[in-house]
Amino acid sequence: MSFSVRQARRSLCTAVSSKLRLLSPLSINITTAVAAPCSLLSTTRTYSAAKPKTAKKHAADDTPPTLSYQARKDLAKQKRRDAYARKLARLDALKTRRDDKPDRGILKRTFMDWYSKEIEYHSILERKARQEGKPWKIRVAALVERLPVVTPDMEEWEREFVDLQEYLMTFGKVYPPETGLMPEEREEDHVVMSDEEMLTLLPFTPAPRETEADATGDLKTRDRRLKTFLYLAVRTKNEGMLSDSPRWTLPSAIANVQADEKDGDEALETLLQTARRAVSTSIGNDLTLWCPSNAPVAINYRVYNKNLPEEFRGNYYGEKIFYYRVQWDSGDVDETSLDKNGVDDYAWLTKEEMLERVEGERGGHQAKFFKYLL
């Protein structure tokens, strides 16, 4: 059989099935009566009549059908607003554990917003320095911290939890009398001593949590604010400024990252060694420091002002300041070496005290950097 004959038979089968569909709008069964070569219609097919379309219901059953399209639209929008307002009112009435706490993740989002802008600004400074063909000077700042000496005061909820634990340890569980599990009660079993009463039983007198330096406001001693961290700050002009007045900052020094013509590679030092030298050249060699890491905790950029002295800025575009966290171990500040090192004053400051001085002297941008640094 030629190809044209087969094609003609398929066309005939298709035409017959199309005529049968048009005979009735109801469900009909189509069974082929065509010859065997028409295999496309050798099965039984069922076709159903289309269901009549019904009118679309309005968004709300109580909407009058006589209103215009715009009026019905405005009415539906107002109903959605009222439903959303009821939902918010119901959520506000619910008691949750985070009623008095900030939104979840708000502190992280605030930091990331600031951090992403800082990274973008630093990349812009890097590009400008490359365009001018000027290198960066490396400065290392030492963040000397004194760890807390005593535990901080408990929050109210912590105090309540401890009181509950002490109550349960004193009175124990209560069982019904018929079980016979309750031991005989004795007065000495239910004695709850206060903190003051327990302190009187100690064989020694505990040191006060508030020291004399806290009362007098002495900032040059580490024997103050025992419940929190303290940071060593110096007041100096060694960082190069336009004004003649010194400002509060951290001990810092320029790193020797290039070989010296006289000493060669022996003059090179690591950034951690520079951090140690920054402390010794600022407040003397009496302090013993412990360095927990060889890596810096932060980096900041400083662009040199063109009005700075030429001998200070040289051919550099600015400074990259690497901050190293080191901890005080022993020793004290050598006050006799402050003048010859160009340091006017020093203090052991808390985070809040440090931020107050930085914001007053350098503005809110640097204060926010120190807020996340400390």
Q: Take residue 39 and report the two structure tokens written for it.
A: 């295999």
At 311 the pLDDT is 81
Q: Which is nearest to 324 in space by CA: 147, 140, 145?
A: 140
Work out the number of other CB atoms within 10 angstroms of the CB of residue 141.
21
Distance CA 31, CA 46 (A): 10
Residue 39: phi and psi, rounded to 5, are -75, -15
At 115 the pLDDT is 93
At 108 the pLDDT is 87
pLDDT digits (tens, 9 = 90+) for 168-220: 777 777 778 788 777 676 666 666 677 788 888 888 888 888 899 989 989 99
At 26 the pLDDT is 43
Q: Which helix (H) or strand (E) holds 99?
A: none
Distance CA 2, CA 7 (A): 9
For the chain, how far is it from start to end, CA to CA, in angstroms? Answer: 93
Distance CA 63, CA 217 (A): 74
At 305 the pLDDT is 85
The label of the residue with tokens 């509060």 reads 248
Q: Does residue 265 sit in helix, strand or coil?
A: helix
Q: Does residue 79 sit in helix, strand or coil?
A: helix
- pTM of the complete model beyond 0.85: no
Q: Take residue 350 and report the two structure tokens written for it.
A: 């808390």
* Positions of the chain with pLDDT lower than 70, given as ranges: 1-9, 11-65, 95-104, 183, 185-192, 240-244, 259-267
96: left (phi over 0), alpha (psi -120 to 50) or beta: beta
How far from 160 is each of 30, 32, 157, CA to CA, in Å? 84, 88, 5
What's the half-sphere exposure (Cβ side, CA atoms, 13 Å) at 36? Answer: 0
